[in-house]
Amino acid sequence: MLEAHARQQMIRIAHLCYERHLLVAMDGNLSSVLDDGSILCTRAGCHKGFLCDDDLVVIDRTGAKIRGEGVPTSEMAMHLACYQARPDIRAVVHAHPPIAVAFTIAGVSMERCVLPEVVLTLGAIPTLDYRTTGTGDLAALVGEHIRQHDAVLMDRHGAVCVGNDLLEAFCRLETMEHTALITKTAQDLGRVKDLPPHEAERLRSMGLKRYGGPPSAVAQADLPGADLPAACMTCSDDESKAAGEGPPSPAIRMAQLRAVSEDTLQSALSDAARFGLTGAVGSGETELEQAVVDAVIQALRDGR
Ligand SMILES: [Zn+2]
């Protein structure tokens, strides 16, 4: 890619990262490989929403500056580790997508198979253990995992996404955050249903063959489970549950009820009475539910 074109693309993608709320202030950094093997990257301490041509510097594979104003960010070591790990990588985008990062802070893994299109294109997204930002330790950890993945999350920090060019790396970043938003919304609505393991395996195998991916992952396309982690293959051993058929089991509903304080429960019951809902008692099922609620209230009292 001509350097002039690479510069234009980097500025456009940096603006998009800011406009799409994938980073704020001086967060994040971008890089891409130029035709002569040198690396175009963003300088330290520049706002990606206002990135301009003067904010770009060219470095060599050791990180030494060749030309441009300012210095490359200390996080550039992560980019160099990615290029060193995989010669097929031509661009790296690092940002701080808020919902995906919140998953790491809450200790909720994104390494699961929920959305078919994400399984096809990205597979499972791992969260790397916490390391101090800007250190060689973190760069080494990112390089190690990027061998197997095109997108990774760093605990309490952000995302590193790679691609053949900046647009592809950006698409992976956007997909990661969109997946986090959909998963969080589903959780807010009740629960997150994983894809049945055999379907996740089929999709992943198909995706690696159709769209490619890390060479080490593509090599596993025809193996059982493809490159998916064991957790995805055992996330559900009951297909009807994974497909979301039927209500939660009585045990789960009881556990959910048990987590509610007695005051909340009593106020919900009086609300129900106010709206005449208890007037529905008469069918066997409603009587049974009432008996369960009575038993739970009794259990709550006994538990004090
Ligand atoms: Zn960062």
pLDDT the model gives residue 248: 42
What amino acid is encoded at 155 in this protein?
D
Distance CA 37, CA 273 (A): 73
pLDDT the model gives residue 229: 87
Q: Which residues contact 133 (CB under 8 A, 6 or more apart)?
A: 74, 75, 157
Residue extents of the structural domains in the chain = 3-189, 197-242, 250-303
CB count in 10 Å sphere of residue 55? 21
Provide the CA 230 distance to its chain's centre, in angstroms. 18
Report residue 6 as tokens.
Answer: 């690479």
Q: How far is the CA of 171 from the centre of ligand 1 (A)?
A: 18
Distance CA 264, CA 260 (A): 6
pLDDT the model gives residue 178: 97
Q: How far is the CA of 38 from the centre of ligand 1 (A)?
A: 22
Q: How far is the CA of 77 from the centre of ligand 1 (A)?
A: 11
Distance CA 58, CA 5 (A): 14
Q: How far is the CA of 268 from the centre of ligand 1 (A)?
A: 45
Q: How far is the CA of 29 from the centre of ligand 1 (A)?
A: 8
What are 91's strand-pairing partners?
32, 163
Q: How far is the CA of 21 from the centre of ligand 1 (A)?
A: 14
Averaged in consecutive runs of 10 residues, what is the pLDDT profile of the chain (304 residues)?
94 98 97 97 97 97 95 93 97 98 97 94 96 95 97 98 98 97 96 94 95 94 91 58 39 46 59 46 53 65 56
Q: How far is the CA of 173 from the centre of ligand 1 (A)?
A: 13
**CATH for 3-189?**
3.40.225.10
Q: How far is the CA of 118 from the centre of ligand 1 (A)?
A: 23
Q: How far is the CA of 94 from the centre of ligand 1 (A)?
A: 7
Residues comprising the chain, all counted: 304
Q: Which residues contact 199 (CB under 8 A, 6 or more apart)?
A: 116
Q: How far is the CA of 55 from the centre of ligand 1 (A)?
A: 17
Distance CA 41, CA 93 (A): 10
Q: How far is the CA of 154 from the centre of ligand 1 (A)?
A: 9
Distance CA 290, CA 278 (A): 9
Distance CA 26, CA 47 (A): 5
Report yes or no: 103 and 127 within 8 Å, Cβ to Cβ. Answer: yes
Distance CA 43, CA 74 (A): 9
Distance CA 202, CA 120 (A): 9
CB count in 10 Å sphere of residue 28? 24
Q: How far is the CA of 288 from the centre of ligand 1 (A)?
A: 55
- pTM of the entire predicted model: 0.77
Distance CA 17, CA 96 (A): 9
